[in-house]
Structure 1
Amino acid sequence: MSFINFAYLAALAVAITGMVMLDRRFTLFLWRDARRAAIVLAAGVVFFLVWDLGGILLGIFFRGQNEFMTGLLIGPELPIEEVFFLVLLCYNTMNAYAAAGDWLDGRWSRSRRGHSVEARADG
């Protein structure tokens, strides 16, 4: 195996790292309530893994292999990259959901203007 065989897995890891950094910066999902977030994230990944396994058993889903994938399987027709993709998918969804909730609640506009608004209110 060469580095190119890990390109997709590495890209997924970089994207997940970006999601973690956004989450940390804006306190969206995992940093808001780690225990609850871990349960929700795990439930989402398990749900989609069961979905994938059902599709594989029914002959609907097949593994697409190319030179950018490791070739490591965690089940028949189920590459290791799929788990990382599902983590990214679920984490991205929850970050987007939390960010949308914050935006609709007006938390982002207050936090962006927070210091100047507070300063004017005090002075």
Structure 2
Amino acid sequence: MGILYLAALLVSLGGMVVLDRRFRLFFFDRPVRAAVVLLVGVAFFVVWDLLGIGLGIFFRGETDFMTGILLAPELPLEEVFFLTLLCYLTMNVFRGAHMLVTRERSGGRKEAR
């Protein structure tokens, strides 16, 4: 049962990939730009977490659903996957909303990039 949370995160990430591919939202639209944005976002939040851990603000909760693998003191493996999901979800929502607003403004016609 110690891998359940990680499995749920991976399934959710898979869902983000399916949505991205279907609607060409992020990686399937501009892969290099998407990789840079995702890496910068995840790195920012990992640094944020490490600072919070160092200041004693953040700590790892104990649960049977996590692997117990730590990347750093108080930083579980699952946190990186969660942050990746968070950033990927945010970019899919942002691009999807942008596409809807752009389509609405153009009266339903597709606009050139």
Corresponding residue for residue 92 of structure 1: 89
Q: What's the counterpart of residue 62 of structure 1?
A: 59
- How does 1:1-123 map onto structure 2 within 5 Å? 4-106=1-103, 110=108
Alignment: residue pair count: 108
The alpha-carbon deviation at position 65 of structure 1 amounts to: 1.7
User: In percent, how many aligned pairs have the same letter?
Assistant: 56
Q: What SS is found at the alignment partner of 2:66?
A: coil
1:32 CA displacement? 0.5
Gapped runs of 5+ residues in structure 2?
A: none
Deviation at 1:44, TM superposition (A): 0.2
TM-score, structure 2 normalization? 0.92
User: Pairwise CA RMSD of aligned residues?
Assistant: 1.5
Unaligned runs of 5+ in 1: 115-123
Provide, for residues 31-68 of structure 1, a one-character-per-residue CA deviation record: whole Å limited to 9, x for no partner. Answer: 00000000000000000000000000000000012000
Taking structure 1 as the reference length, the TM-score comes to 0.84
Instruction: Answer with 1 or 2: which has the greater Rg.
Output: 1
State the alpha-carbon separation in 2 of the partners of residues 65 and 98 from structure 1. Answer: 36
